[in-house]
């Protein structure tokens, strides 16, 4: 899935199949449903969910709670505009979620050299 695909899906009622809970949270946030976004972020107990959680609490103005979640995500507290942070999070999560197996194997092996 690309960023454009995700944006186009915002016209639908439900998030596209196959998104991670963190990406579903960002999808609901883009739709203006903070509560559903927060519920989705809470379903991911890893660093991605914590990052989305941090963004959502920053967006609601709860800076101390956001700082806690940035720490859980291993991220510094974001100071960029919310729309720029949304884009940064979504791009990174999409890149990690939809990277092709060949690219992953290539990166892990140091290239496609065989010998």
60 in a structural domain: yes
pLDDT tens across 16-47, in order?
Answer: 999 999 999 999 999 999 999 999 999 999 99
Q: What is the pTM of this model?
A: 0.83
114 in a structural domain: no
92 in a structural domain: yes
23 in a structural domain: yes
25 in a structural domain: yes
- Of 20 and 106, the structure prediction assigns the larger pLDDT to 20
The predicted pLDDT at position 101 comes to: 52
Angle between helical axes of 47-60 and 21-30 (0-180°, round to 10): 20
Residue 81 sits in a domain whose CATH number is 1.25.40
The 10 Å CB-count burial string (b at 16+, else e) for 99-108 is eeeeeeeeee
What domain range includes position 67? 3-7+16-109
The predicted pLDDT at position 65 comes to: 97
Above 90 in pLDDT, residue 71? yes
Q: How many domains does the chain have?
A: 1
Contact partners, residue 43, CB within 8 Å, separation at least 6: 21, 24, 49
């Amino acid at each position: 899935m690309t960023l454009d695909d995700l944006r186009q899906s915002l016209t639908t009622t439900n998030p596209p199949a196959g998104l991670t809970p963190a990406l579903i949270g960002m999808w609901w946030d883009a739709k203006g449903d903070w509560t559903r976004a927060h519920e989705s972020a809470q379903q991911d107990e890893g660093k991605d969910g914590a990052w989305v959680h941090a963004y959502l609490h920053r967006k609601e103005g709860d800076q101390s709670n956001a700082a806690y979640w940035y720490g859980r995500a291993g991220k510094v507290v974001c100071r960029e505009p919310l729309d720029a942070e949304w884009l940064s999070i979504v791009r990174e999560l999409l890149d990690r979620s939809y990277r092709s197996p060949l690219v992953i194997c290539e990166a892990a092996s140091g290239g496609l050299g065989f010998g």
